[in-house]
Amino acid sequence: MAAQPLYLAWANPVRIHWGAGCFQSLAADAPVVVLADRAALRYENETLLLERLGHHCKAWSWFQGGLATLTLAQTLCDELWPVLRQYPDATVLAIGGGSTLDLAKVIRYRLDDTRSAAAAWRRNALPAGALRHPLWLVPTTAGTGSEVTRWATLWDTAVAQPAKLSWSPADGYAERALVDPELSFSCPLRQSRDCGLDSLAHALESLWNQHRSPVSEALALEAARLVIAMLPRLQAADGQRDVRTALARASLLAGMAMSHTQTALAHALSYELTLKEQIPHGEACAVWLPMVWELALGATPDCDAALARVFGVPASAGVQTLRGWLQALGIAPRDLRDTAAGRATLDQEMRSARGRNFIAS
Ligand SMILES: [Zn+2]
């Protein structure tokens, strides 16, 4: 890394429980309000959890799929905030993919005036009097890494100019994350592929990032190599347990790296594809990765060295290797540099909040 002395401020307050079966140890001795993804929680797990929570379970809402929109956040708050108001010490427990976990990160800040919520979320500002409830996150996809970051993505779609919002209070981390790879075993193949691509995007975006450190680099490299080795094996009938456990591990490690660096240019470019073309988040990031990799080349010697370690080939040759790897998974990489309009979009996103994290912005 940099030759000058480096002050390495590394902290992530989330208490992580990791391992197959750890979800079955989840219990509560205080009130809990649950938000769960209907498609992600198997019936037997739902029944067992209800038994373990017993009378401490004060409310249960289902996330029925789709984007984490402002409208959906408002609906869920209308359901759950009255219960949270009744039990001020209640914990919010979320079980699901990135959208479910992100919605829970919003719901856990209970506002006095429900009608002011949308304005607060749009401004990314907590009004006075907001009450912060403890939050436990259980990811069922591998993954978004949302369980170990403090920010949530909300989509403002009920307006003339739909937009992606980031909700990121300074104390927005969860108290606990339970990462049980077994919960991801039933995730459909296509969704698992897209979530794995999201993990790879988080890892690579941490490497070509202005805020990278030796710790984030080590986590990101391990995560990237795991995804590259394991994602092509996702469709094979054998070894699924090992493959999916490795992808859950990669998701967690990439999430930890990203919790310090944030994401960068590929994510900045992805949001438009999700909003306008309804492309799932992981794929919408992945299509930009080869172009962004090429743009990162030569930015700093240490970034080039890290990128060379991803595939074990020189960083300049890695672009083509990554392109071929993505194409084999059915992804068609895109490039904005061929047209004047594309170059203008690239220039604009380089100057966006996420784009400015990019090492060559
Ligand atoms: Zn992402």
DSSP sequence for 296-317: HTTS-HHHHHHHHHHHTS-HHH
| Residue 7 in domain | no
pLDDT of residue 6: 59
**CATH code for the domain of 64:** 3.40.50.1970
> For every residue of 333-360, which 3-state class applies, written as one string?
CCCCCCCHHHHHHHHHHHCCCCHHHECC
Cα–ligand 1 centroid distance for 92 (angstroms): 23
Q: Is the same domain home to 285 and 166?
A: no
| Residue 296 in domain | yes
Residue 178, helix vs strand vs coil = strand
pLDDT of residue 235: 84
- Is the pTM value of this prediction over 0.75? yes
In our burial notation (b when 16+ CB lie closer than 10 A, e otherwise), range 51-78 reads eebeebbbbbbbbeeebbbbebbbebbe
Burial classification of residue 287, based on how many CB atoms lie within 10 Å of its CB (0-12 exposed, 13-18 middle, 19 or more buried): buried
Q: Is the same domain home to 340 and 227?
A: yes
| Residue 8 in domain | no
Domain of 131?
Answer: 15-183
Q: Please report, for residues 68, 179, 220, the alpha-carbon distance to residue 350 in angstroms, rounded to integers and kept in the order given.
A: 25, 33, 22
Cα–ligand 1 centroid distance for 222 (angstroms): 17
Cα–ligand 1 centroid distance for 349 (angstroms): 16
Cα–ligand 1 centroid distance for 30 (angstroms): 33
Cα–ligand 1 centroid distance for 146 (angstroms): 9
Q: Is the same domain home to 38 and 177?
A: yes
Cα–ligand 1 centroid distance for 328 (angstroms): 21
CA–CA dist 246, 223 (Å, integer): 9
pLDDT of residue 191: 96
Cα–ligand 1 centroid distance for 141 (angstroms): 13
pLDDT of residue 7: 64
Cα–ligand 1 centroid distance for 357 (angstroms): 14
pLDDT of residue 113: 82
Cα–ligand 1 centroid distance for 309 (angstroms): 22
pLDDT of residue 212: 95
| Residue 310 in domain | yes
| Residue 93 in domain | yes
Cα–ligand 1 centroid distance for 163 (angstroms): 16
Q: Which of 121, 151, 183 is the last residue of a domain?
A: 183
Q: Is the same domain home to 51 and 140?
A: yes
Q: Is the same domain home to 236 and 214?
A: yes
Tens digit of each residue's pLDDT (9 = 90 or more) over 76-100: 999 999 999 999 999 999 999 999 9
| Residue 151 in domain | yes
Q: Is the same domain home to 279 and 303?
A: yes
**Closest-CA residue to 259 (of 177, 188, 352, 181):** 177
Phi, psi of 96 (to 5 degrees): 160, -160
Cα–ligand 1 centroid distance for 284 (angstroms): 9
Residue pair 56/29 in contact (Cβ under 8 Å)? The answer is yes
Per-residue pLDDT of the chain (361 residues; tens, 9 = 90+): 445 565 667 789 999 999 999 999 999 999 999 999 999 999 999 999 999 999 999 999 999 999 999 999 999 999 999 999 999 999 999 999 999 999 999 999 999 888 889 999 999 999 988 999 999 999 999 989 999 999 999 999 989 999 999 999 999 999 999 999 999 999 999 999 999 999 999 999 999 999 999 999 999 999 999 999 999 999 887 889 999 999 999 999 999 999 999 999 999 999 999 999 999 999 999 999 999 999 999 999 999 999 999 999 999 999 999 999 999 999 999 999 999 999 999 999 999 999 999 999 8
Q: Is the same domain home to 260 and 353?
A: yes
pLDDT of residue 115: 85
Counted domains in the chain: 2
